[in-house]
Structure 1
Amino acid sequence: MPPSDYRGLSLWHDTVGEELTPRPALAGDLDADVAIIGAGYTGLWTAYHLALADPGTRIVVIDKEIAGYGASGRNGGWCSALFPTSLRRMALDRGRAGAVRMQHLLNATVPEVGRVAAAEGIDCHFDQGGSLSAARNPAQLERIRAHVADYQAWGFGADDHRLLDAGEVHEIAAVDGALGGSWTPHCAAIHPARLVRGLARAVERRGVTIHEQTAATDVHSRHVVTRHGTIRADHIVLATEGYTATIAGRRRALAPVYSLMTATEPLPEEVWDQIGLRDRTTFADNRHLVIYGQRTRDGRIAFGGRGAPYHYASRVSPAYERDDRVHATLQRVLVDLFPVLRDVAFTHSWGGSLGVPRDWYPSVRHDRRTGLAFAGGYVGDGVATSALAGRTLAALIRDDDPDDLASLPWAGRTSRSWEPEPLRWLGVNAVTALMGAADRSEQRSGRPSRAAAAFWTAIGQ
Structure 2
Amino acid sequence: MIPQPTAYERHAPDTRVVRRALAESTRAVYWLEEANARAQFTSLTAGTSADLTIVGGGYLGLWTAVQAKRRNPGQRVVLLEAETVGWAASGRNGGFCEASITHGEENGRSRWPDDYELLERLGQDNLDGFERDVRDLELDCHWERNGTLAVAVEEHQVAWLGDSPHRLDRAAVRAEIDSPLFLAGALDLGGSALVHPARLALELARVAADLGVEIHEHSRVVAVDSAAAGSSVDVRTERATVRSDRVVLATNVFRSLLRRNRLMTIPVYDYVLMTEPLTDEQMALIGWSARQGLTDLANQFHYSRLTRDNRILYGGYDAMYYPGGKVKEQYEERPETYERLASHFFATFPQLEDVRFSHRWAGAIDTCTQFTAFYGLSHRDRVAHAAGFTGLGVGATRFAADTLLDLLAGTPTRRTQLKMVRKRPMPFPPEPVAALGINLTRWSLDRADHRQGQRNALLRTLDAMGLGFDS
User: Is 1:35–1:59's contact at 8 Å kept on the other side of the alignment?
Assistant: yes
Counting helix residues as a fraction of each chain, which structure ranks higher?
Answer: 1
Secondary structure at the counterpart of residue 416 of structure 2: helix
Which residue of the partner structure matches residue 153 of structure 1? none
What is the root-mean-square deviation of aligned Cα atoms in Å? Answer: 2.3
Which residue of the partner structure matches residue 260 of structure 1? 271
CA, structure 1 residues 281+54, in 2 after alignment: closer, same or farther (shift >3 Å)? same
Distance, in Å, in 2 between the alignment partners of 1:276 and 1:409 is: 43
Secondary structure at the counterpart of residue 167 of structure 2: strand
User: Is 1:42–1:376's contact at 8 Å kept on the other side of the alignment?
Assistant: no
Asked whether 1:110 is paired with 2:120, we answer: no
Which residue of the partner structure matches residue 43 of structure 1? 61
| Post-superposition offset of 1:340 | 1.6
| Post-superposition offset of 1:359 | 3.4
Secondary structure at the counterpart of residue 349 of structure 1: strand
| Aligned ranges 1:59-208 → 2 under 5 Å | 59-85=77-103, 90=108, 96=114, 98-145=115-162, 158=165, 162-185=166-189, 186-208=191-213
CA, structure 1 residues 183+244, in 2 after alignment: closer, same or farther (shift >3 Å)? farther
CA, structure 1 residues 260+376, in 2 after alignment: closer, same or farther (shift >3 Å)? same
Distance, in Å, in 1 between the alignment partners of 2:110 and 2:94 is: 31
Distance, in Å, in 2 between the alignment partners of 1:21 and 1:115 is: 28
CA, structure 1 residues 143+380, in 2 after alignment: closer, same or farther (shift >3 Å)? same
Q: Could you tell me the percent identity over the aligned residues?
A: 29
Secondary structure at the counterpart of residue 241 of structure 1: coil
Secondary structure at the counterpart of residue 318 of structure 2: coil
User: Is 2:263–2:430's contact at 8 Å kept on the other side of the alignment?
Assistant: yes
Asked whether 1:13 is paired with 2:67, we answer: no
| Post-superposition offset of 1:312 | 2.2
User: Is 1:360–1:459's contact at 8 Å kept on the other side of the alignment?
Assistant: no
Which residue of the partner structure matches residue 46 of structure 2? 28
| Post-superposition offset of 1:189 | 1.4
Distance, in Å, in 1 between the alignment partners of 2:342 and 2:100 is: 24
Any unmatched runs of 5+ in structure 2? 1-25, 227-232
| Aligned ranges 1:38-437 → 2 under 5 Å | 38-85=56-103, 90=108, 96=114, 98-145=115-162, 158=165, 162-185=166-189, 186-221=191-226, 222-245=233-256, 250-367=261-378, 369-399=380-410, 404-437=414-447
| Post-superposition offset of 1:375 | 1.5
User: Is 1:264–1:344's contact at 8 Å kept on the other side of the alignment?
Assistant: yes
User: Is 1:70–1:352's contact at 8 Å kept on the other side of the alignment?
Assistant: yes
CA, structure 1 residues 65+9, in 2 after alignment: closer, same or farther (shift >3 Å)? farther
Paired residue type of 2:450: R
C-alpha distance after superposition, 1:323-379 (max 9, x if no partner): 111111111111111112222100100111111113334223334724121112111
Paired residue type of 1:334: F
Secondary structure at the counterpart of residue 14 of structure 1: helix
CA, structure 1 residues 453+297, in 2 after alignment: closer, same or farther (shift >3 Å)? farther
Secondary structure at the counterpart of residue 188 of structure 1: strand
| Post-superposition offset of 1:95 | 5.1
Secondary structure at the counterpart of residue 157 of structure 2: helix
Secondary structure at the counterpart of residue 57 of structure 2: coil
CA, structure 1 residues 347+456, in 2 after alignment: closer, same or farther (shift >3 Å)? farther
Paired residue type of 1:46: T
C-alpha distance after superposition, 1:382-437 (max 9, x if no partner): 11111111122122223456x62212332122223211110011112222222222
User: Is 1:259–1:307's contact at 8 Å kept on the other side of the alignment?
Assistant: yes
C-alpha distance after superposition, 1:145-170 (max 9, x if no partner): 2xx57xxxxxxxx4xxx322112211
C-alpha distance after superposition, 1:244-298 (max 9, x if no partner): 4587664322101111111000001111112122222000110101321111101
Paired residue type of 2:172: E
| Post-superposition offset of 1:438 | 1.9
Which residue of the partner structure matches residue 155 of structure 1? none
Secondary structure at the counterpart of residue 242 of structure 1: coil
Paired residue type of 1:35: T
CA, structure 1 residues 57+254, in 2 after alignment: closer, same or farther (shift >3 Å)? same
CA, structure 1 residues 171+104, in 2 after alignment: closer, same or farther (shift >3 Å)? farther
CA, structure 1 residues 290+242, in 2 after alignment: closer, same or farther (shift >3 Å)? farther
Tell me the matched-pair count.
Answer: 435
Distance, in Å, in 2 between the alignment partners of 1:248 and 1:22 is: 31
CA, structure 1 residues 359+94, in 2 after alignment: closer, same or farther (shift >3 Å)? closer
| Post-superposition offset of 1:242 | 1.5
| Post-superposition offset of 1:87 | 5.0
Distance, in Å, in 2 between the alignment partners of 1:181 and 1:450 is: 26
Distance, in Å, in 1 between the alignment partners of 2:307 and 2:109 is: 36
C-alpha distance after superposition, 1:71-98 (max 9, x if no partner): 11100110112445565765677653x2
Paired residue type of 2:348: L
Distance, in Å, in 1 between the alignment partners of 2:106 and 2:304 is: 28
C-alpha distance after superposition, 1:155-193 (max 9, x if no partner): xxx4xxx32211221122113222212111211111100
Paired residue type of 2:167: L
Paired residue type of 1:49: Q
CA, structure 1 residues 188+47, in 2 after alignment: closer, same or farther (shift >3 Å)? same
Distance, in Å, in 1 between the alignment partners of 2:103 and 2:144 is: 26
Distance, in Å, in 1 between the alignment partners of 2:104 and 2:272 is: 26
| Post-superposition offset of 1:239 | 0.8
User: Is 2:256–2:262's contact at 8 Å kept on the other side of the alignment?
Assistant: yes
User: Is 2:293–2:303's contact at 8 Å kept on the other side of the alignment?
Assistant: yes
Which residue of the partner structure matches residue 450 of structure 2? 440
Any unmatched runs of 5+ in structure 1? 1-6, 150-157
